């Protein structure tokens, strides 16, 4: 079974993020779920991003790195939207990563060094009409990652919702999340 470090999105540790972690734990995996917002949960994406700006993206990245301190090297990093920054940074720079699952976001492969590390599998998941994922360059970054990385996969789901996998938000898409969860569990069974 995999040991996972899961990073929440810009709204914080919502009930939906906790539910996703519980689903992964229910499949037998160990999930570490750090709270990068010190208990704050924001009501919508705009306020969540405002809070992230107030805290500072660099500070959030440092908190993400600190969350990995004391954990074993052989982790699978999972990031949801804003949480992808920490998940991707650790997967690319912390030795021993077993894989990464990036949901609703992806940074360019060169963002954290010389590109994606050899031998570390990665999946990127997003909706094909999500204004954030498509319009802000994440889809382009995901395609570049897949093109440059033999163990990279991109999965697109029909729809326009951002944070589609959080069942506590209006943006939740049950069908897409069921497929996402199946793909995540298959990935963890293979690479965990």
pLDDT, residue 97, reads: 97
pTM for the full model?
0.97
pLDDT, residue 109, reads: 84
SS3 helix, strand, coil % of the chain, rounded to 5? 45, 15, 40
For residue 61, give the nearest of 38, 32, 89, 22 by alpha carbon: 89
pLDDT, residue 14, reads: 98
For residue 122, give the nearest of 144, 73, 67, 131 by alpha carbon: 144
Question: What are 54-112's pLDDT values in tens digits?
Answer: 999 999 999 999 999 999 999 999 999 999 999 999 999 999 999 999 999 999 989 99
Question: What are 120-164's pLDDT values in tens digits?
Answer: 999 999 999 999 999 999 999 999 999 999 999 999 999 999 999
Fold classification of 3-191 is Rossmann fold (3.40.50)
* Rounded CA separation 156/83 (Å): 19
Phi, psi of 12 (to 5 degrees): 100, -165
pLDDT band at 113 (very low <50, low <70, confident <90, very high): confident
* Rounded CA separation 37/58 (Å): 13
């Amino acid at each position: 079974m995999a040991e996972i470090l899961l990073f929440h999105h810009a709204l914080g540790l919502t009930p939906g993020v906790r539910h996703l972690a519980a689903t992964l734990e229910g499949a037998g995996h160990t999930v570490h779920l750090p709270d990068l917002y010190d208990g704050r949960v924001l009501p919508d994406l705009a306020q969540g991003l405002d809070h992230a700006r107030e805290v500072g993206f660099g500070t959030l990245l440092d908190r993400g790195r600190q969350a990995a301190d004391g954990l074993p090297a052989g982790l699978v990093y999972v990031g949801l939207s804003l949480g992808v920054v920490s998940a991707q940074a650790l997967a690319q720079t912390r030795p021993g990563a077993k894989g990464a699952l990036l949901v609703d976001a992806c940074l360019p492969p060169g963002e954290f060094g010389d590109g994606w590390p050899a031998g570390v599998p990665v999946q990127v998941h997003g909706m094909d009409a999500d204004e954030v994922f498509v319009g802000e360059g994440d889809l382009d970054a995901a395609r570049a990652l897949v093109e440059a990385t033999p163990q990279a996969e991109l999965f697109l789901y029909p729809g326009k919702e951002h944070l589609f996998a959080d069942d506590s938000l209006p943006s939740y898409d049950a069908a897409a999340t069921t497929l996402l969860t199946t793909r995540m569990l298959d990935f963890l069974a293979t690479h965990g």
